[in-house]
Amino acid sequence: MRSFIALAFASASCPALAALNIFACTPEWGSLAQELGGDKASVYTATTALQDPHRIEARPSLIARARGADLVVCTGAELEVGWLPQVLAQSGNEKIQAGRPGYFEAAGAVELIERPSRLDRSLGDVHAAGNPHLHLDPRNVSRVAKALAARMSALDAQDAQYFIGREQTFQGRWREATARWEHEAGPLKDMPLVTYHKDLSYLFAWLGLRNAGTLEPKPGLPPSTAHLAELLAALRRAPARAVVRSAYQDPRGADWLAKQAGLPSVMLPYTVGGSEGATDLFGLYDDTIARLLAVAR
């Protein structure tokens, strides 16, 4: 009897096992999956904000994590093409292969921008489906949240109402935050900024920022001395307000150009974890807009 009571007490005191084991490719989708999954999901994020999402090594630890996943949540649109297919193939997990219910691409829920008119390796690292850095427009995050909650509900029918309820709560908070961000960001409209890569294009389109130049001479190619000199000459003719880069990018080219042009060099978190303030999706946008407003003042 005592053994039975002890066993019952131990079972009651231990948390229930998560119903859904989620492998998220990048921090933004890991954060969103946790928002929707709550205590009914266990979320593992494969990369950090300080890693270039294009260039990740298919490490054995990632393969092991994918082997036990019920759902893979990634961006798609070729963002993870350099490493995810290898991870999926070597995981041996049929549930999460492309085309299966356990494989989810955020890009499938939104309309991508900057679709190239032609594909040519001489143009650099271009994505055939369009720009994959879609999470920096909150309207896209809302669309992805709806689609992801539906997929989670389909995979775990027992907890479907739980996921849908959390998605509805998230959407309400997200709508309020989006309206606040758009109001706060009013002074940023038409502000010219030099960027490093096209990873901020959705943010620029949403807020009406202007791109005054790109540090990469072609997508995926690091800044060259000749290209930086051309940018500097262009900035002397038509000044920008700042040089911005994402947390995972090498600061040297941005810092050099900013110093020579007499501009501030601004690091933006890009994704969850990219700065002390970007602890979740809400903090990512709060901190990004605050950093840009500091330049505008």
Q: Which residue has the higher pLDDT, 294 or 14?
A: 294
At 242-260, the pLDDT tens digits run 999 999 999 999 999 999 9
Mean pLDDT across the chain? 92
Q: What percent of the chain has pLDDT over 70?
A: 90
Give the pLDDT of residue 4: 38
Where, residue-wise, is CATH 3.40.50.1980 in the chain? 16-180, 185-296
CATH of domain 16-180: 3.40.50.1980
At 110-131, the pLDDT tens digits run 999 998 866 655 555 666 889 9
Confidence of residue 195 (pLDDT cuts 50, 70, 90): very high
Q: Are strands 210-214 and 242-246 parallel, antiparallel or unpaired?
A: unpaired
Phi first, then psi, for residue 266 (nearest 5°) are -120, 125
* Domain 185-296 CATH (choose: 2.60.60.20, 1.10.110.30, 1.20.140.10, 3.40.50.1980): 3.40.50.1980
Q: What is the mean pLDDT of residues 163-180?
A: 98
Q: Is the pLDDT of residue 63 over 80?
A: yes
- Report how far residue 47's alpha carbon sits from residue 52's, in angstroms, rounded to the nearest whole number: 9
Q: What is the mean pLDDT of residues 152-181?
A: 98
Q: What is the mean pLDDT of residues 18-34?
A: 95
